Structure 1
Amino acid sequence: MTNIRRAMAVALPAAAALAFSATPAQAGVGIYCTGEANCGTFYYNSNLSGSRTTFTGSGGINGSIRDLAGYKFLDSGAGQGTPVKNGAASFYNGSPTPTTIFFNSGHNGPCDTIAAYTNANRLVNTYNENASLWFGASGSNCYKFN
């Protein structure tokens, strides 16, 4: 019995630590909006042209992407295979709430907020300098697309 108690004394705190260290749900990535509540598409070129990558997810911080590093433009066309981070010229917000794109990772710096179901044919503050995305956020001091 003593060995079992010692094993439990070690195992339970370790299991509790794992339970509380889980990362929040991440946004999905693809080419199209597929019925998710929040959906936003980055385009390589202005006027919603060139290659694109679509992100989907829940609202709030769990649906955000703190760093676009590692994501690439997926669809055929100009820019396919190049990084999305610091590479997007336009954006479509297919969400029922505003979506904000930030210049820096971690939702910092200059930003563009795109109203629900609105095109940003040429990003202003984050044109080719986009590093993070937040569904359901309307950043302060952002350029507003209505």
Structure 2
Amino acid sequence: MKHLKVLLMATMAVIGLTFTITAPSAAAATADGTQVTCGRSGYGVGLYFNSDIKGSKRCIYGDVSNYAYNGTLCTSQGCPPYRFELDGRNGEGQLVKNNAASVYNYSGYGISIFFGSGWSGPWDSFPEYGYAGSALWYGNLNSTYNENASHRRTAQG
């Protein structure tokens, strides 16, 4: 009986160790290799702090007329700005407004990134995800490189 108890305790320890080892690694991996994923539903747009789809990322769903106000997180004290949010990557915690260098359009809509708030001024456009034409749905910003203030979707592909 004593051997059975020791065996049972050893088995439980191994099971606990297995869960301890596998749970964190499974949680860290996502479809696009980051901790924050945009996915393919809705109007997901990934804005990146660095060129070439690198550095910290912020995923935003829907149209945004001013990155200085995140309307989805408003409280009685006001609305916080959008910030880059990948842990430990260059740009983490920095404001999205006037700090994005590249974009990955995960949505089924074309997207335009604008220089000014309220969808004004020069812009960079990216077609919907998977577009097979001459333009890519991801890349570095040109007209709005580190001067981005808003974005909105354009015609559906």
TM-score, structure 1 as length reference = 0.65
Counterpart CA distance in 2 for 1:105 and 1:72 is: 16
The two structures, once aligned, show a CA RMSD in angstroms of: 1.7
**Partner residue in 2 for 1:126:** 144
Q: If you compute each CA radius of gyration, which structure gives the higher value, 1 or 2? A: 2
Paired amino acid for 2:50: N
Task: Kindly report which structure 2 residues correspond to 1:1-146, keeping only aligned pairs within 5 A, or say none.
Answer: 31-57=36-62, 64-69=63-68, 70-76=81-87, 77-117=89-129, 118-120=137-139, 122-136=140-154
Measured at CA, do residues 35 and 119 of structure 1 come closer, stay the same or move farther in structure 2, by a change above 3 Å?
closer
**Partner residue in 1 for 2:74:** none
Paired amino acid for 1:81: G
* 2:45 alignment partner, SS class: strand
Q: Report the alpha carbon displacement of residue 35 of structure 1 after superposing the two structures with TM.
A: 4.2
Counterpart CA distance in 2 for 1:53 and 1:72 is: 7
Larger strand proportion of the pair: 1
Paired residues of 1:46 and 1:90 also in contact (CA < 8 A): yes
Paired residues of 2:40 and 2:108 also in contact (CA < 8 A): no
Q: Report the alpha carbon displacement of residue 34 of structure 1 after superposing the two structures with TM.
A: 3.8
Percentage of matched positions with identical amino acids: 38
Measured at CA, do residues 73 and 137 of structure 1 come closer, stay the same or move farther in structure 2, by a change above 3 Å?
farther
Larger helix proportion of the pair: 2
Unaligned runs of 5+ in 1: 1-29, 58-63, 139-146
Paired residues of 1:32 and 1:54 also in contact (CA < 8 A): yes
Q: Report the alpha carbon displacement of residue 137 of structure 1 after superposing the two structures with TM.
A: 5.4
Counterpart CA distance in 2 for 1:66 and 1:137 is: 17
* 1:125 alignment partner, SS class: coil
* 2:61 alignment partner, SS class: strand
Paired residues of 1:48 and 1:92 also in contact (CA < 8 A): yes
**Partner residue in 2 for 1:10:** none
Deviation readout 1:29-80 (Å, 9 max, x if unpaired): x9312442311000000000000000113xxxxxx10000111001120000
Corresponding residue pairs, total: 102
Unaligned runs of 5+ in 2: 1-34, 69-80, 130-136
